[in-house]
Structure 1
Amino acid sequence: MRYSIVLPFIAVTVFAAPLEERQAACKVPTTFPTTANSKLPNPFKFFDGTDVKTKADFECKNKEVSAAIQNQELGVFPTTAKTTATYSGGTLSITASDNGKSTSFTVSIKGASAANSPAIIAYGAASIPVPAGVATIVFNNDQIGAQQGQASRGKGKFYDVYGADHSAGALTAWAWGVDRIIDALEATTGHNIDTKKIGVTGCSRNGKGAFVAAALVNRIALGIPQESGSGGAACWRVSDSEKAKGKNIQTASQIVTENVWFSKNFNAFSTKANTVATDHHQLAGMVAPRGLIVIENEIDWLGPVSTTACMKAGRLIYKALGVPDNMGFTGSGNHGHCSFPSNQQADLTAFINKFLKGQDANTANIEKGPTADVASYIDWTAPTLT
């Protein structure tokens, strides 16, 4: 890429290195802070104390955040798998190989009636209304990484390849599965899917998974996590604060006993989540500047104050990058868990139209939820990154 800077009496042509080259120059640490801090970690400061001043700096910061969250919370996300695939009659058959081991699975594709259709990968089944013109790819994430309690750790097709003792929790295993689905779509024809316009969604535990997939798989154009609560849109630190106020809310200390969504590494932080180097406003930041619409339900267990404050902080990251309207969050009460109320429809439609259908849709200033003062949870100010 090149662009010109016009100065008095002189024009200077500057060659900007490609994204991959700039990111390769990033220095990513292998050890991460564990200092207690009740405030949400500063997404604009490197762990060594250096300020993030430019968008190129932020690309490097995101690599640092990804490494930290994989090390402390999610487990390692493998990026070396080789994928082969075939497509026939609405079924995409996928074989993934790594380290001399292979596994196979299938996904179904419905609704791709026209060439270059956008698509939404739905964990389990779509609990959001998928509009006409957008295909649905149904992903049985449970077969990739089991989630039936503590006894299911290390079980599933991901672990058939990488071993039962791999550090990845189920959320990371599922994201790896999403990555393989996109590989397979790119390698096959006949399905009519535009691989540049892929969304991912899921609700509740699968909403956590959809959020993590959007963060780790940078080919996702739009993340649509629904009612992901703790482990998704909620910040660990804010949830602990709400719990201390008497709220019936899921926290890190509970979530690690319930299921195997997170790495075993996270157990060491579960009772001291304020020592984790990152928090989930930065999970949203890992999606930036790509599209992200966070759909929540004002159920105490999901942490409506925590999700709202956390996503407000996440949206500050988007604002710093100059794309505030690429992220929105919408909370709504008085409806069943994983049902979809009509008062969230317009926000969802706008994001799908903009990021999957390529339309000129208004996604500005979508911040809806209970009262939550994000300023009380941060001690940093978002800069304008150049």
Structure 2
Amino acid sequence: MSARKGTGVTAKVGRPRDRSVVVVLAVAALALTLAATTLTVAEMGVARAADGLAVVSPVEDDGVDCPTPNPGTTSANPRLPDPFRRLDGSRISAKSDWRCQRAQTKQLAQRYVYGEKPAKPQTVSGTVSNTSITVNVAHNGRTASFSASVQLPSGGSGPHPAVVVLGGFGADTATIRSAGAAVISYDPLAVGREGTPRNNKQGAFYSIYGSSSSSGLLVAWAWGVSRIIDVIEQSGGNILRADATGVTGCSRYGKGAFVTGAFDQRIALTMPIESGSAGSPIFRGIPGESGAQPLSSAYGEQPWLGDAFGSYTGNPANLPIDTHQTVAMVAPRGLLIMDNPHIDWLAARSSSVAALAGAEVYRALGAGDNISYWSDVQDGTHCASRSEWRVPLQQNIQKFLLNTGSSTGVFRISSRKAGNLSEWRDWQTPTLADGPTTPPTTPPTTPPTTPPTTPPTTPPTTPPTTPPASGACSASVSVNQWTGGFVATVRVTAGSAALNGWAVTMTLPSGASVTNSWNAQRSGSSGAVTFSNVSYNGSVAAGQSTEFGFQGTGTGSGMTPTCAAR
């Protein structure tokens, strides 16, 4: 997929497409209601969640000392792999376990999907000025250089946070600068050139690591951004702040921004746009999404992905990893994924599933407010500057780069390309302890007692109902309302005895109807509607809870759910 804008050339994605403008109903503006998500500024400007989990790391990879055993032979799995399961089969149980779990995830991502991203070279030097950055690299007797231009924000004094824009296509640069961040315009093709065969890759990365390197262009581009951050770190911080860096890109450069943010933990805010196949959409979903760019096409169009991925273009179920785990590699740092549901080729449905599944990791880490997803846009032009994204872009820059905001994460999924996470997972989201724990010596033999949860939701606008009666169940509802529609999240809580099944009934207001639901079976769409458990969330331990949700048209105010055991 190519992106061209600002030059009078029509944007292209390689296929004919419907360019009609359609007003899309949003699925949700979702945000977690979890404690311990307030950001503060710690020493060295490193933002941390209230539970002490680092949001931005002072190092590129803080898991280099973690054991990463060979994954061995894996069996085919049509569902998304469990992001909480270690390579030895056990599951993590504490937030502190995530550091090494991310390291194991990174190993899988490099081995099967992207190729290796080498650590910092032996020598990195360069300069930072008000208008440019130069990068010089030397490693094992080989050298390479490249540069990037700088535009400082329209106001304020330095040092400034900055957003690296890949290839000139990304989030609106005028909005970035007016929000208070500098723009670093980075040409990734100088580091990893397109139009080359896999056995003769070119650019600064391959000048250092060899033209036959099995690492794809996305890793090469990410490596280049990391070297830019190295130079900013060495510059003394008078102009730009190395601890307040964002990255963005659209189309092929959206793929690059996604991988860049996943692989460098110094990046505070990652903003991929319309990244399509080889970007954020789950690999397992692309073959079944009508009109989406096939994996074989994405692999063959350019050497974006690592050479090893070629063995999985026809059988992604054999991959021991998927892109929801690349999303999880960004956690708990800021992530804003922006998608276009009007162009089938971009696989926005599969991308929404990746975001929803990755949000479960954010939620488990107590950082659910740090991830946003937005595909509810009216204009279908590829890589356009969209008015719908202006406010969330500003809010994310304020929160993650300036440390002056506290906005919650937002999920606005277009009904045209709304994925259903329950169709793709057979794992439950654990409740992770705040402190370190000793991992089990053998894989768990029974499923976790904590029931699965839904994607992040907004704080309740109506008070919860009374506590559960003994031996029964109760239900409370939270509603996020916007003009013409709403999303409701319903929490089912067991009483003094465990539940083996449940059903929740509520009467919708006049004119309201259900258009979509998740984590529940539904009977009816208007008036009195009954929701009952699905196979994986019917068993609820005494005093524990599970959640389901639904999207509706009209108003969702005034609903009173009643719960009964089945």
- TM-score, normalised by the number of residues in structure 1: 0.90
User: Could you tell me how far apart the structure 2 residues matched to 1:190 and 1:356 are?
Assistant: 14
Q: Deviations over 1:225-281 (max 9, x none)?
A: 111122111000011232xxxx11013222111110011111111111111111000
Q: Corresponding residue for 1:176?
A: 223
Residue of structure 1 aligned with 2:80, choices 13, 20, 40: 40
Contact 2:169 2:253 in 1 (8 A): no
Q: Corresponding residue for 1:76?
A: 116
Contact 1:33 1:47 in 2 (8 A): no
User: Could you tell me how far apart the structure 2 residues matched to 1:58 and 1:358 are?
Assistant: 24
Residue of structure 2 aligned with 1:282, choices 325, 328, 334: 325
- Bigger mean CA deviation after superposition, 319-328 or 33-42: 33-42
Counterpart of 2:281 in 1: which secondary structure?
coil
Residue of structure 2 aligned with 1:206, choices 237, 243, 253: 253
Contact 1:308 1:369 in 2 (8 A): no
Residue of structure 1 aligned with 2:276, choices 214, 218, 229: 229
User: Could you tell me how far apart the structure 2 residues matched to 1:105 and 1:136 are?
Assistant: 17
**1:29 Cα deviation after fit:** 1.6
Contact 1:119 1:194 in 2 (8 A): yes
Counterpart of 2:177 in 1: which secondary structure?
coil
Q: Deviations over 1:127-173 (max 9, x none)?
A: 32223221000101011001126478511111011101112100000
Read off the aligned partner of 1:181 and give its amino acid letter.
I
- Bigger mean CA deviation after superposition, 318-327 or 347-356: 347-356
Read off the aligned partner of 1:335 and give its amino acid letter.
G
User: Could you tell me how far apart the structure 1 residues matched to 2:359 and 2:79 are?
Assistant: 17
Q: Corresponding residue for 1:90?
A: 131
Q: Corresponding residue for 1:264?
A: 307
User: Could you tell me how far apart the structure 2 residues matched to 1:304 and 1:212 are?
Assistant: 17
User: Could you tell me how far apart the structure 1 residues matched to 2:363 and 2:356 are?
Assistant: 10
Read off the aligned partner of 1:347 and give its amino acid letter.
P
Tell me: CA distance 1:152–1:207, structure 2 relative to 1, closer, same or farther (3 Å).
farther
If you compute each CA radius of gyration, which structure gives the higher value, 1 or 2? 2
User: Could you tell me how far apart the structure 2 residues matched to 1:215 and 1:369 are?
Assistant: 25
User: Could you tell me how far apart the structure 1 residues matched to 2:294 and 2:208 are?
Assistant: 31
Counterpart of 2:284 in 1: which secondary structure?
helix
The answer to whether 1:124 aligns with 2:124 is no
Contact 2:199 2:211 in 1 (8 A): no
Q: How does 1:1-386 map to 2 (within 5 A)?
A: 23=63, 26-81=66-121, 82-88=123-129, 90-112=131-153, 114-129=157-172, 130-132=176-178, 133-148=180-195, 150=197, 153-189=200-236, 192-242=239-289, 247-298=290-341, 299-331=343-375, 332-370=377-415, 371-386=418-433
Contact 1:150 1:257 in 2 (8 A): no
**1:35 Cα deviation after fit:** 1.6
Read off the aligned partner of 2:136 and give its amino acid letter.
T
Contact 2:150 2:183 in 1 (8 A): yes
Contact 1:226 1:294 in 2 (8 A): yes
User: Could you tell me how far apart the structure 2 residues matched to 1:24 and 1:338 are?
Assistant: 36
- TM-score, normalised by the number of residues in structure 2: 0.62
Gaps (5+ residues) in structure 2? Answer: 1-51, 434-566
- Bigger mean CA deviation after superposition, 269-278 or 341-350: 341-350
User: Could you tell me how far apart the structure 2 residues matched to 1:65 and 1:364 are?
Assistant: 24
User: Could you tell me how far apart the structure 2 residues matched to 1:145 and 1:375 are?
Assistant: 38
User: Could you tell me how far apart the structure 2 residues matched to 1:191 and 1:52 are?
Assistant: 41
User: Could you tell me how far apart the structure 2 residues matched to 1:25 and 1:87 are?
Assistant: 31
- Bigger mean CA deviation after superposition, 216-225 or 360-369: 360-369
Q: Deviations over 1:57-90 (max 9, x none)?
A: 2221111110111011111111031201123451
- Bigger mean CA deviation after superposition, 35-44 or 79-88: 79-88
**1:189 Cα deviation after fit:** 4.5
- Bigger mean CA deviation after superposition, 357-366 or 50-59: 357-366
**1:327 Cα deviation after fit:** 0.5
User: Could you tell me how far apart the structure 2 residues matched to 1:92 and 1:351 are?
Assistant: 24
Tell me: CA distance 1:46–1:368, structure 2 relative to 1, closer, same or farther (3 Å).
same
Read off the aligned partner of 2:315 and give its amino acid letter.
K
- Bigger mean CA deviation after superposition, 196-205 or 151-160: 151-160
User: Could you tell me how far apart the structure 2 residues matched to 1:122 and 1:40 are?
Assistant: 31
Tell me: CA distance 1:154–1:22, structure 2 relative to 1, closer, same or farther (3 Å).
closer
Counterpart of 1:46 in 2: which secondary structure?
coil
User: Could you tell me how far apart the structure 2 residues matched to 1:53 and 1:253 are?
Assistant: 37
User: Could you tell me how far apart the structure 2 residues matched to 1:362 and 1:56 are?
Assistant: 25
- Bigger mean CA deviation after superposition, 337-346 or 280-289: 337-346
User: Could you tell me how far apart the structure 2 residues matched to 1:241 and 1:350 are?
Assistant: 35
User: Could you tell me how far apart the structure 1 residues matched to 2:238 and 2:255 are?
Assistant: 28
Counterpart of 1:236 in 2: which secondary structure?
coil
Tell me: CA distance 1:90–1:25, structure 2 relative to 1, closer, same or farther (3 Å).
closer
**1:182 Cα deviation after fit:** 0.3
Read off the aligned partner of 1:183 and give its amino acid letter.
D
Read off the aligned partner of 2:214 and give its amino acid letter.
S
Contact 1:75 1:262 in 2 (8 A): yes
Contact 2:250 2:275 in 1 (8 A): yes
Read off the aligned partner of 1:124 and give its amino acid letter.
G
Contact 1:33 1:276 in 2 (8 A): no
User: Could you tell me how far apart the structure 1 residues matched to 2:140 and 2:363 are?
Assistant: 41
Contact 1:120 1:137 in 2 (8 A): yes
Contact 2:255 2:279 in 1 (8 A): yes
Q: Deviations over 1:342-384 (max 9, x none)?
A: 1222222211111012112312343433332111110011112
Tell me: CA distance 1:294–1:280, structure 2 relative to 1, closer, same or farther (3 Å).
same
Q: Report which of the two has the higher share of helix.
A: 1
Q: Deviations over 1:23-80 (max 9, x none)?
A: 4653202344442111000001112210111112222111111011101111111103
Structural RMSD (CA): 2.2
Contact 1:318 1:327 in 2 (8 A): yes
Contact 1:146 1:152 in 2 (8 A): no
Tell me: CA distance 1:25–1:257, structure 2 relative to 1, closer, same or farther (3 Å).
closer
- Bigger mean CA deviation after superposition, 278-287 or 91-100: 91-100
Moved over 6 A (4+): 18-22
How many residue pairs were aligned?
Answer: 367
